[in-house]
Amino acid sequence: MPSETPGTDPGRHLIRYSGHAPFSPEVVVRAAGTSVFTESGRELLDFTSGQMSAILGHSHPAIVSTVREQVAHLDHLHSGMLSPPVTELVRRLAGTLPEPLEKGLLLTTGAEANEAAVRMAKLVTGRHEVVSFARSWHGMTQAAANATYSAGRKGYGPAAPGNFALPVPDRHRPSVVGADGELDWHRQLDLGFEMIDAQSVGSLAACLVEPILSSGGVVELPPGYLAALAAKCRERGMLLILDEAQTGLCRTGDWYAFQHEGVVPDILTLSKTLGAGLPLAAVLTSPEIEQRAHERGFLFFTTHVNDPLPAAVGNTVLDVLVRDRLDERARGLGATLRGGLEKLAARHEVVADVRGRGLLLGMELAGDEVLGEGGADRLGAEVTRRCYELGLHMNIVQLPGMGGIFRIAPPLTAGDDEIARGVAVLDEALTGATRGL
Residues whose CB falls within 8 Å of the CB of residue 280, separated by 6 or more in sequence, listed in order: 106, 107, 108, 271, 274, 310, 311, 313, 314
Q: Catalytic one among 170, 246, 307, 355?
A: 246
Residue of 244, 377, 407, 418 marked active site: 407
Percentage helix, strand, coil, to 5, in the chain? 40, 20, 40
DSSP symbol at 57: -
Active-site hit among 210, 254, 261, 290: 210
Q: How far is CA 138 from CA 15, 40, 325, in A?
A: 22, 35, 29
Known catalytic membership, residue 137: yes
Q: Which of 135, 232, 236, 272 is catalytic?
A: 272
Is 79 in contact with 107 (CB distance < 8 Å)? Answer: no
> Of the listed 137, 188, 254, 255, which one is catalytic?
137
Rg (CA), the chain: 22
Type of residue numbered 287: P
Say if strands 405-408 and 395-396 run parallel, antiparallel, or are unpaired: antiparallel
Give yes or no: 112 in active site: no
How far lies 234's CA from each of 68, 202, 239, 262, 363, in Å?
46, 14, 7, 16, 35
In Å, what is the CA distance from 366 to each residue of 160, 165, 354, 372, 393?
36, 26, 12, 10, 21
Task: Name the catalytic one among 184, 243, 307, 377.
Answer: 243
261 is catalytic: no
Q: Active site includes 39?
A: no
Q: Which residues of 232-251 are buried (b: 16+ CB within 10 A; e: fewer)?
A: bbeebebbbbbbbbbbbbbb
Burial class (CB in 10 A: 0-12, 13-18, 19+), 119: middle
What are 395's strand-pairing partners?
Answer: 407
**CA 337 to centroid of chain Cα atoms:** 19
Contact 206, 118 (CB under 8 A): yes
DSSP helix/strand/coil, 98:
coil
Question: Are the C-beta atoms of residues 407 and 340 closer than 8 Å to each other?
Answer: no
DSSP code per residue over 35-55: EEEETTS-EEEETTHHHHT-T
| Residues with catalytic roles | 137, 210, 243, 246, 272, 407
